[in-house]
Amino acid sequence: MELQYDPAGRTLLKTTGILMIVFGVFGTLIYSLGLAAVIGLSYATGGVFSASDDLVGMGLLWTGALVELITGILGLRGAKKPERVGKGRILWGLLCLLLTLAGLGHIALRSSAAPLWELAFGLALGVVTPIVYLVGVARVRRGPLEADDPPEEDSQDSAPAL
C-alpha cells in the first residue's frame, strides 16, 4: 500500500520546482551574459572600467541562480517521491534564498547604477519562490496522511433523551 502524502504540499512543491527550474535557467543565462559583458568591458578598456563590486554581486546572483536550478530539480523529485524529502531539501531552499539576498544586497549597496525595478524583480523571483518552496517542503515533510478510519457504530440503540 502506497503512503499518501499531503497532495496540496506535493502540488505546491512540484509547481514551485518548475518555476525554480525556469527562473534558474533564465538567471544563469542572464547573469552569465552580464558577467561576460563586465569582464569583456574591463579588458577592452584596459582596466579603465573596473566593476569588481558588480562582479562580486553578479557572481553571487549567478551562483544563486545555479542553486535555484538544482533546488527546483530536487523539488520536482521530492514531489514524485515525497518519502525522500528530508532536511537536505530545506538546506537547498535556504541556500538559494540566502545567495539571492546576498547578491541583491551587495549590488544594491555597492552599485549606485542598479535600477530599482531590477532589484524589485530580483527580490520577487529570487526570494518569493524559495520561500514558497520551503512551505511546500514543510507540508510534505509532515509525513504520510493517516487513513480515515470508518466511524464505529454503536451496538446499543440509544433513544433520544426527552
pLDDT in tens, 50-77: 666 677 777 888 888 899 999 999 999 9
For 125-151, b/e burial (b = at least 16 CB within 10 A) is: bbeebbebbbebbbbbbeeeeeeeeee
Q: What is the DSSP letter of 50?
A: -
Residue % of the chain over a pLDDT of 70:
77
pLDDT of the residue at 94: 93
Please choose, from the candidates 58, 60, 38, 57, the residue with its C-alpha nearest in 3D space to the C-alpha of residue 49: 38
pTM: 0.76
Residue 89: how many other CB atoms lie within 10 Å: 24
pLDDT of the residue at 150: 45
pLDDT of the residue at 151: 44
Judge contact between 117 and 56, C-beta under 8 A: no
Please choose, from the candidates 91, 161, 122, the residue with its C-alpha nearest in 3D space to the C-alpha of residue 27: 122
Q: Which segments of the chain have a pLDDT < 50?
A: 1, 148-152, 154-155
For 57-83, b/e burial (b = at least 16 CB within 10 A) is: bbebbbbbbbbbbebbebbbbbbeebe
pLDDT of the residue at 149: 40
